[in-house]
A and B are shown apart, each in its own frame.
Chain A
Amino acid sequence: MIEIDNAVKRYGSVTALDGVSLSVPRGALAGLVGTNGAGKTTLFRLLVGHERPDEGTVRVAGRDPVASTAVRRAVGYLPEHAEFAPAMTGREVVRFHARQRDVARAHRRERVDDVLRTVGLGEAASRRVGGYSNGMNRRLGLATLLVGAPDVLLLDEPTASLDPEGVETFHRLVERVHERTNVTVLVTSHVLSEVERLCDRVAVLDEGRLVDAGPVDELGGDEAVVRFIPGPDVTPDDVTAFVGDRPDVRLARATGDRYALAVPESATFDRLAALQEGLEIERFEVDRTGLREAFDRLVGDGDAEDEGVAGDGGVVDV
């Protein structure tokens, strides 16, 4: 559904995207993660035809989104900050988008009301948007896309600035829509736990380069993570020394008195026993490597290129 081949985008001397190749199959619910300036929004702008790549190709539903205005019928793009004109009602906003997205006149009214109910704005449809909360505004944004029954949804930081309840509501909504329509969804987010919870696949961007992509639960490779709180007599140097003596153990995270070690999944219990022998441990837990640890490994230590799965050239399936 989405095919990006060696896309390069430069703004003056800044390379926003540096040879990104990515393939997102039809029906995927995929996440795109990366730090600020990693190139997530630039990639979306290429997908929706707002920008043209300097090199490489971008295809959505088999078409070049810049050359083909018509392909935008198949794509719904929700920018990170999309506030609607406060003087319009929710229904007017969605009706306007329905007309532009060629929803047949005979079904338009019903379709608009259906979509507004789907996003939980049925009651508020006649109210002016200026009185909507952030969460309602985001859901209205989603409604403007859904009304055209797109094949692809591009959601750029859709839950930024929402409270936890708003985030949860939006997640449930996206999941429900994806489940019922099998629409291809690509979501960007700074919040890794959000992507981990919502998406089945993820791509990691770092400084314009794709450093890894694949199913969320495979991104961590064959590592497990041991999180622990050491006893009061254990110093950070003790932990560093423990890690330094074991080449297959990596310090994935250190926050205050909490540590996370990445260890080979097959040797988890051996390394855990060694940890308990070598250091005084107050509490510990063992888990598969999560997106957080995988992201830190790929991006946080600056060695993403060496460790990245995506080499130069070939297209990576998310």
Chain B
Amino acid sequence: MSESRPDGGTETRHVRIDAARPAREQLRSVVDFAVREYRLAIRSNWASGLALLFAALSVGVVLFGRSSIGAESVRAVVLSVAELSVYLVPLAALAFGYGAIVEPRQRGSLDLLLALPVPRWVVAVGIYLGRAAALASALVVGFGAGGLALFRFGGGAGWGTYLALVAAAVAAGSAFLAVGLVVSTLAREKSHALGGVLLAWVWFVLIFDLLALGAVVGFDLPTAALVALLCANPATLFRLLVLSVAGSVSGGFGAVLASVPLDTASLAAALLAWIVVPVAVSAALLGRR
């Protein structure tokens, strides 16, 4: 088809309306959406704000514990950071994720994006990956500052444990970001999405462990049921991951966690499922619009 350009020139264009988009091009579109979302997250100062928050948190804990730095106390510092992270990482990830879909929907730009010649799952997955990369960057930079402080005062002791904590925090943050993505896809307004993620945080971080502990104490749960119960909460999986690398964890549920026969790989796989399933649900919901 030969036609004029908007500026008056002419060009030859081939509209391939019969051609299905090859997988390689779909992948390229996912990367495009992810890069765009990452750039937006960085420019909006969300990511730098989170990095500052986690830097202040981790450096603060290290500074408070520096008088007794040593191999054992480094582990205690790491566990202290982990305990605070169990509350803050999910909150930060959910707060970062709740606007992912509903914000462009309210702006009207989601309809524009969904009208592009790409499958709708590409939009959901791309937006998720971009935000996940920004969140991971913030966590690595933030906890990295704490890691440098730890190195300054504790030498090389506990570095492996600390790195494992950062990796677990990134995995848990990614899982909660995925939960936020689903809430954002379901919500019609930003305020609804915000309420939804706050409820999710209260459930996963505050209420779930209490109920689970009650169930364990009240009923003689078989191991399989206990494992299923623990895998039903990404915050618990985060705790278990830290436990598996640090050898100890505090909290009312700690004793139960210590008795669960799940290795690090299984825990990581369970957290991965908490990423893949919500993102798939979000992509399917967007496709059904």
A: residues with CB less than 8 A from B are 48-51, 61, 63, 68-85, 87-88, 92, 96-97, 99-102, 107, 114-115, 117-119, 141, 144, 146, 149, 151, 176-177, 180-182
Contacts and interface: CB of A to CB of B under 8 A. Distances in A.
Nearest to A154: B115
A304 to B, nearest CB: 29
B5 A114 contact: yes
A287 to B, nearest CB: 35
Contacts of A177: 6
Given A63-B17, A69-B118, A181 B4 contact: yes
Nearest to A107: B11
Contacts, number: 118
A96 B111 contact: no
B3 A70 contact: no
Given A69-B118, A85-B104, A88-B39, 13 more contacts: A63-B17, A69-B21, A70-B20, A74-B17, A77-B112, A82-B107, A83-B107, A99-B29, A99-B32, A101-B116, A114-B7, A115-B6, A180-B4
Nearest to B116: A100
A61 B17 contact: yes
Contact of A50 (B5, B44, B111, B118): B111
A117 B7 contact: yes
A70 B111 contact: no
Interface string B1-28: 0011111110101011111110001001
Nearest to A88: B40
A50 B7 contact: no
Contacts of B289: 50-51
A100 B109 contact: no
A159 B108 CA distance: 15
Given A83-B107, A83-B109, A100-B32, A180 B8 contact: yes
Given A48-B115, A81-B108, A96-B32, A70 B19 contact: yes
A97 B116 contact: yes
B279 to A, nearest CB: 20
A119 B117 CA distance: 23
A50 B115 contact: yes
B4 A81 contact: no
A73 B15 contact: yes
A146 B15 contact: no
A84 B109 contact: yes
A100 B118 CA distance: 7
Contacts of B6: 114-115, 118-119, 146, 176-177, 180-181
